[in-house]
Structure 1
Amino acid sequence: MTIRIAGVLLGMCLFNISMSAFADELDDTQIKLEKERPQAMLIVQRWQLAHQNKNAEELTALYADQVDYYHQMMRREKVIANKSLFFKSEKRKFLSQKIVSTISINSDGNNTDDEDGADDSLRAEFVKQVVMNDRAQNYPASLYIKENKSGLWQIIAETDDITDSNLGASDDSRTVIRAKFNGKQPQYAWVNSRNTETQGSCDYAQQCSCYLWSSDATVKPIEIPSCNSASLNILSGLDGSGRDRLVLLDWREMGGWTGIHLYDIQRGQWTQAMNMVSTHINQLEVQKDPLVVPEPGKPGYVRVTAVDFNTETEEQESESRVLPLIVLPE
């Protein structure tokens, strides 16, 4: 298991940046986003309804002339043709689609810069649940939406993180990983974060929660409170169950503290596989070994490096702990 420490350390450095230098620009961006968000939300709702009704004509009105469709540039007519084939396929029979998460809309483009260098497209992120051949699957999906020169809001790009990962196009902020978390079938896992007040996108200055999802729609997402973002890795071979474990580091609002979590899927749902252990960014900077490793000679146990704050000495203290895996009775 390799924890991508460099990437998460870079994210944590944002806490040390002064907000005053770009406060005015941030306010202007937020005001613009608040004005445009209802337009983007309406596009997403129409897109969802068109899929539910298998309405290719409605979809035609939603897409731009050129669309970045799952990392292939296509004309609108080709996109609609693909959608129509998908709706009519008998081999992979499409039964329904619905959005099962909140919809987060950000001022985040898809490299569709205007001539002046400004990128005014919006990114709508949500989890869609698609039922094909009587099997429901979750996908972390994205639509990129932009106003054209005629003032019409249209979809300029569509993708999902699972396809991105398979194509090698996934970015570090939205990682999906695949493993046998239940010890049987491989499935994808990912985390999204939401502002606990607005259920919109999460910034480091806000109170947020993270939500751990599975591509298996029967596995319900779980909430990780006080979490602004998370990094994920896989730990295998800890016992004879065949279950891969998900190592999750939750990144919090302030102070450089993070929690080390271990999850798997038991009884069909996400289960905490060990008690959460706290650590600090300072430990990540000096530790070269993984934070969680199998304990040699003790199947079903892991060794974790924990960091706590000693209130008497007012210093951080690290400790190596051996913890048992939590296994629910069948």
Structure 2
Amino acid sequence: MPLEQLIEERMRHYGFNKSSLAARSGISRPTLRQIMSGKGTISSLGQVLSPLGCSWAWCPPTCTFPGAALAELRRCKRLTQAEVSGRLLLSRPVIIGIEKRMRGELASLLSYTRLLGMPVPIVPISSRRRLIPASNTPARDRVMTPPALARAICDHFAPHMHGLVLDPAKGEGAFYDHLPVHVARDWCEIRDGRDFLTWQGRADWIVTNPPWSRLAEFIVQAMRTADNIVFVAPLPNLTTKARLRSIKEAGFGIVELLQFETPREWPQSGFQLVAARIRRGHAGACQFTSLEISAPTSRLRAA
């Protein structure tokens, strides 16, 4: 969806016309027209986010340093500032200005976010909140992983798995049922009386789609329990400064971020979803890979 179309939809949602939105945002109507046409400044676009109920597409609404979060996403895609500069024909100081201060021309930001896979740099906050279904409380959010996706993720990491593999949020068994045959298996599921957060055992690997509202707790417990972890989650939830610091301080590192499209069965949002492999003792680079649906068999494959 083009930026202009998104802004117009949000204006209709809140009952704004151009004059009232400009007044609420503290900008002029000509400035708003520039923004809607993809021109003007990044800071001007930032001023309309709150009135439109939107946030930057690559980080949570509460993110204090969106430029730093954008830089982290760039690094996850294994791109340097120089490479981004070369591909977009923008000077490196322009890239630095975006990443450090979210300053510069809006056209430059649009080019940058498109390079990172985001056609529009803002998303409605409401679409983010639907990542946890409204019918669930945050402590019990449950979004079942489609078996085909779980199988593809398990197949991708299977050559590395060994020993005992634990699925700490078994749910309906999507991951547990598709773990490779050469490993031993165990599971936890709070609905069945086995709460992973109080589990005292040890495992070699942990693989699951955890409850995202309790992701921080699950990561901490997983790092106490196993040396290798694969968690499905939105990329921004895994790469906050606090979460990366927690992972590093525990002696772990992110080995791979395996991205995939949001399943049709799940609420749609502006977040990139990944299966993140986290390993004890890893201090090297993070590999950014992807799962794609290949025709005509509609099987998921690693790319």
Report the TM range for the smaller structure's normalisation: under 0.3
Of structures 1 and 2, the larger Rg is shown by 1
TM-score, normalised to structure 2's length?
0.27
More strand by percentage: 1
More helix by percentage: 2
| Structure possessing the higher relative contact order (Cα contacts under 8 Å, 6 or more residues apart) | 2
TM-score, normalised to structure 1's length?
0.25
